[in-house]
Amino acid sequence: MIAAYIQAGEIQEARALFDRMELKNTASWNTLLAGYAHSGHLQEALTLFAIMDLEAPPDKVTFVTMLDVCGNLKNSAAGEEIDAAVTSSGLWQDVTVGTRSFACTGVYAQNNLLDQARATFDAMPDKLSLVAPWNAMISAYVRCGENSSGVMLFLLMDLEGGRANEITLVCVFEACTTPSQLATGRRIHTALERSGENQLLNHPAVRTSLVNMSGKCGKLAEARAIFGAVAASQRGDLVLFSAMIAAYAQSGHSKESLELFGVMALDGILPTDVTFISVLAACSHAGLAKDARYHFRGHGWRLELGSLYLHGGRVGEVRKGGGGGV
C-alpha cells in the first residue's frame, strides 16, 4: 500500500500509512525512503534515515538510496556519515555499495574538497578489482583543474595493475589537453598502441578525446590525422566531426573549419548547437559576417550574433528580440 501511494504521487498519504504501522521492518523503511528520494523530498529522506538508524538495521538498498540522496543534495557532511555507516556495516565488500559510496564522494569534488574525496578513495579495499572508483577520482581531478593529479592517478592505476576502460581513457586524455601534459598524453597513447589495446583505442569516445587533446594543444596536423583515420569507419560520427571543427575554429583556422563543416553537411550529418557555435566562431575570427548570416538562416538557428557582426564591421545589422534572428 505504501508503494502504491508513492507510485500515485501521494507521498503524504504514504507517510501517514507508514506512521500507523505497528511493526516496521527494513523493507518498509526502504520503500518510504525510496519514495522520498524519487519524488525529490531529499531532506525528508535524510531525516527519515536518521530515525530509521535508531529503529531498524539499514541494508544495501538503504545505503544505495541514501548515497543518491547525499549526492543530489551535495551534502558532504551527510555523505561522510553514510560512508562511515557503510564501512561499519561491513558492506564495503559489496561491489554495488562500494562503488556507489565512492560516487558520493563526488560531492566533495563538486565542492572542491578533493582531499576528502582522495582520502575516501585511498581507504577503499580492493580498488583494483573495480574501475569505477578510479574513473570517478580521475574525473574529479580533471573537473577541478587538477590535471596533473588526474594523470598521476592513472599512471598509479596502471602501475598497480588496474584495468582501464574507455571512460578511464577519455578522462585521462581530457587531463592532457594542456601543452604541459600533451607529451604525457602522447606517451600514454603510444604505450596503449604497443600493448595491443586496439579495442579501447578504437572506441569512438576515446578517438574523439584524442582529437580534442591534440586540437586543444594546437597540434592540428595530429588531430586531423587521428580524425582522418577514424572518419572512414565512423563517417556519421557527429561528435568526432564537431571536435575537429572546434579544434580548427579555436586555433583560428576558419577556412579549414568551414570546409569540414561543408563535408559534414554533405554526409547528411545534422549539427548540434555545439557544432554550430564553432562554425559561427570560425566566421567571427575571419570576419565573415555574410557567411555567418547564411549559416544562421540556412539552419534555422536563433543565436546572439552581435560579436560576429562587430568583427565584420556591421554593427547596424544586429537586431534582437522575438526569435526573429538577424
Cβ-count burial of 56 within 10 angstroms (0-12 exposed, 13-18 middle, 19+ buried)?
middle
pLDDT of res. 310: 35
Return the pLDDT at 94.
Answer: 58
- Single out the residue of 128, 73, 125 nearest to residue 98, CA to CA: 125
Pick the more confident residue, 200 or 108. 200
Long-range own/partner contacts, residues 140-143 (CB < 8 A, 24 or more apart): 140/105, 140/106, 140/108, 140/109, 140/114, 141/109, 141/114, 141/175, 142/171, 142/174, 142/175, 143/109, 143/110
What pLDDT, on the 0 to 100 scale, is given for residue 253?
84
pLDDT digits (tens, 9 = 90+) for 167-220: 899 999 999 988 888 999 999 999 988 887 777 888 888 888 999 899 888 888
257 versus 314: the higher-pLDDT residue is 257
> What pLDDT sits at residue 6?
87
Least confident range of 8-22, 112-126, 200-214, 227-241 = 227-241
3-class secondary structure, 306? helix
More confident residue, 224 or 312: 224
Instruction: Give the pLDDT of residue 156.
Output: 94
Q: How far is CA 179 from CA 150, 186, 236, 321, in A?
A: 15, 11, 30, 41
Per-residue pLDDT, 112: 64
pLDDT in tens, 232-275: 555 557 788 888 888 888 888 878 888 888 888 777 777 777 77
What pLDDT was estimated at residue 294? Answer: 64
Does 150 score more than 70 pLDDT?
yes
pLDDT at 39 over 80: yes
For residue 316, what pLDDT is reported? 39
Position 183 scores a pLDDT of 92
- Sorted by where each starts, the structural domains of the chain and their CATH numbers stand as 1-123 (1.25.40.10), 126-199 (no CATH)
Angle at 316 between CA 310 and CA 318, to 5 degrees: 70
Confidence of residue 314 (pLDDT cuts 50, 70, 90): very low
The pLDDT score that the predictor gives to residue 176 is: 93
Residue 126: what pLDDT? Answer: 72
Work out the average pLDDT over 82-104: 62
The pLDDT of residue 262 is 81
Q: Which residue has the higher pLDDT, 157 or 312?
A: 157
- How many CB atoms are closer than 10 A to CB 146? 18
- Using a pLDDT cut of 90, give the percent of the chain over it: 17
Which pLDDT score is estimated for 147? Answer: 92
Q: Highest-confidence range of 70-74, 129-133, 228-232, 271-275, by mean pLDDT?
A: 129-133
Question: How high is the pLDDT of residue 97?
Answer: 57
Is 318 a residue whose pLDDT tops 60?
Answer: no
